[in-house]
């Protein structure tokens, strides 16, 4: 039955792991939380039900690029009744889309868009067939201290005739799963939890005394091993200097961070996808919604802020199932800078006082440049939810939680037992079996996993690359 529908609408003859179980439960009207690795057909869990349920499917998506990617995917299957409500729409387009909202089969939107009064009102008038939270860990990961509208998603969930709700993610701890259940108003959901272990990603780590030694190691390593790969680092300026240093050595590399123009980011991502760029040097702004199957390496020049980020970032490697290596670099004292970074954007105690002092016009502190936009958004949300004493306690707790998360990551770095087992346990799961070359602590022979670079780029090519990059830079200045 379901297989026939799958073939009819998508041309596939069989389901992949988890898809059928999830879809059956949704069709029976049950809420579902599905933990499936990215690249294993997570989207099919809502794509097929859209053809079998009455009413549009609403997909809450964290990023524009991710939304666009999924819209394109559906259009490739010949689906025209799909819309993404986002800031790219003109006022006229948005009016039109909202007016005909009930006629779409798929509606994509960010949490912020859903909280706009006219969107909320329009959604209330429609009977949705299914509500989906894609990358649902964002509720927990971003809701409390970055994008509070994630915590308000319950406001768009109807109290009567509630459609089934589906939460999709690749990585969620027990705490995150609880947050998802709570903030999506789920009622005894069905769980499908695939293992978070990715056996074909081999886990390497390297220790250094000086921070500069890490850069030298990367330059040497990238010149002698094959990509494509991603190098994650923590600052925008470092992505630029490192990518330039790689370019000078004949490696087709580019920097990617949120400070670049959208057009440039899109161009760089596209060049990476088609294989014209071998390496991307990025902040953690890069990766979500990037579907490149053959990424062979992910290098962390800097320790990620928490284990969830680390898992998501290394999870971008080896989606084609072929061997890939994730290398974590650590220099003495790196965690101190991590602690500074993770709490930098949180509202501070004095902000609460200023907020109260501004009375009915708290926005003034934003206009006066006393607080960052993110910090204000977070503070404003919590000040409306609870007393200033409670907010004060909450901010202290947030800071402590972030320090704790850095410390948990540091333990992964410093541990002398199996890294993989620790990571899997962190997500409340058990490791079924270990593969050869499991991790640095179990023993890792790099040469058995990745081939050494056979050829070095010709000098002409380097010039071409510099010219091309020059052109990108020039066009963005114009
Ligand atoms: Zn191991």
Q: pLDDT value at position 164?
A: 97
The dihedrals phi and psi of 164, each to the nearest 5 degrees, come to: -65, 155
Distance 413 CA to ligand 1 centre (A): 13
| Residue pLDDT, tens place only, 389-411 | 999 999 999 999 999 999 999 99
Hey, what are 100's tokens? 């005909």
Rounded to the nearest angstrom, the distance between the alpha carbon of 420 and the centre of ligand 1 is: 5
Say yes or no to pLDDT of 353 above 90: yes
- Ligand 1 midpoint to CA 141 (Å): 27
Bigger pLDDT: 77 vs 457: 77
Instruction: Examine the pLDDT at 90 and tell me if it is beyond 60.
Output: yes
Given this model, what pLDDT does residue 323 score? 94
Helix axes 91-99, 117-124, angle to 10 degrees: 20
364 alpha carbon – ligand 1 mean position (Å): 53
* Mean local confidence (pLDDT), 463-472: 57
Is 70 exceeded by the pLDDT of residue 462?
no
Select the more confidently predicted residue: 453 or 240: 240
Structure confidence by residue, pLDDT tens digits, 145-191: 999 999 999 999 998 889 999 999 998 999 999 999 999 999 999 99
What pLDDT is recorded for position 8?
95
Distance (angstroms) between ligand 1 centre and the Cα of 414 equals 13
In angstroms, what is the span from residue 342 Cα to ligand 1's centroid?
28
Domains 2-193 and 196-478 are alike in CATH topology? yes
Q: Is the pTM of this model over 0.85?
A: yes
Q: Which fold has domain 2-193?
A: Rossmann fold (3.40.50)
Residue 291 has pLDDT above 90, yes or no: no
Q: How confident is the model at residue 478, as a pLDDT?
A: 41
CA 417 / ligand 1 centre spacing (Å): 7
The pLDDT value recorded for residue 459 is 41
The rounded Å distance from CA 419 to ligand 1 centre is 5
Cα 439 to ligand 1 centre (Å): 4
Distance 424 CA to ligand 1 centre (A): 11
Q: What is the pLDDT of residue 88?
A: 85
pLDDT at position 476 is 47
* 133 touches 114 (CB < 8 A): no
233 CA from centroid of ligand 1 (Å): 24
Fold category of 196-478 in CATH: Rossmann fold (3.40.50)
Q: For residue 446, how far is its CA from the centre of ligand 1 (angstroms)?
A: 14
Domain ranges of the chain: 2-193, 196-478
Q: Each residue of 183-232: pLDDT tens digit? A: 999 999 999 999 999 999 999 999 999 999 999 999 999 999 999 999 99
């Amino acid at each position: 039955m379901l297989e026939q529908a799958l073939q009819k609408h998508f041309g596939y003859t069989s389901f992949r792991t988890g898809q059928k179980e999830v879809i059956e439960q949704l069709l029976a009207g049950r809420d579902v939380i599905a933990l499936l690795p990215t690249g294993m057909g997570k989207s099919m869990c809502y794509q097929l039900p859209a053809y079998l349920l009455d009413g549009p499917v609403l997909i809450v998506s964290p990023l524009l690029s991710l939304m666009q990617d999924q819209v394109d995917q559906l259009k490739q299957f010949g689906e025209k009744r799909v819309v993404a409500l986002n800031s790219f729409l003109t006022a006229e387009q948005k009016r039109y889309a909202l007016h005909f909202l009930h006629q779409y089969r798929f509606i994509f939107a960010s949490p912020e868009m859903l909280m706009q009064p006219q969107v909320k009102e329009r959604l209330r008038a429609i009977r949705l067939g299914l509500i989906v939270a894609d990358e649902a860990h964002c509720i927990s990961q971003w809701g409390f201290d970055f994008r509070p509208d994630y915590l308000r998603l319950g406001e768009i969930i109807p109290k009567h005739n509630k459609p089934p709700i589906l939460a999709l993610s690749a990585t969620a701890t027990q705490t995150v799963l609880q947050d998802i259940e709570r903030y999506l108003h789920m009622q005894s959901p069905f769980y499908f939890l695939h293992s978070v272990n990715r056996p074909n990603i081999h886990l390497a780590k390297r220790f250094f005394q000086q921070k500069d030694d890490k850069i030298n190691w990367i330059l040497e390593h990238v010149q002698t091993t094959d990509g494509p790969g991603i190098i994650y680092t923590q600052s925008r300026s470092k992505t630029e200097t490192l990518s330039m240093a790689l370019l000078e050595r004949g490696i087709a590399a580019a920097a990617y961070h949120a400070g670049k123009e959208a057009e440039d980011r899109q161009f760089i991502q596209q060049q990476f996808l088609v294989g014209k760029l071998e390496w991307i040097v990025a902040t953690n702004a890069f990766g979500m919604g990037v579907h490149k199957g053959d990424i062979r390496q992910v290098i962390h020049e800097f320790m990620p802020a928490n284990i969830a980020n680390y898992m998501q970032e290394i999870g971008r490697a080896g989606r084609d199932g072929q061997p890939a290596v994730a290398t974590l670099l650590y220099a003495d004292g790196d965690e101190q800078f991590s602690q500074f970074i993770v709490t930098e954007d949180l509202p501070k105690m004095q902000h609460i006082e200023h907020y109260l002092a501004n009375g009915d016009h708290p926005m003034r502190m934003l206009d006066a440049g006393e607080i960052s936009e993110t910090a204000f958004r977070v503070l404003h949300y919590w000040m409306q939810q609870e007393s200033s004493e409670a907010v004060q306690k909450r901010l202290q707790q947030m800071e402590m939680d972030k320090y704790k998360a850095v410390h948990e990551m540091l333990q992964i770095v410093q541990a002398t037992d199996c890294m993989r087992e620790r990571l899997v346990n962190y997500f409340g799961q058990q490791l079924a079996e270990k593969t050869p070359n499991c991790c640095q602590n179990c023993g890792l022979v790099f040469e058995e996993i990745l081939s050494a670079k056979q050829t070095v780029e010709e000098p002409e090519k380097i010039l071409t690359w510099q010219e091309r990059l020059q052109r990108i830079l020039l066009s963005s200045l114009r």
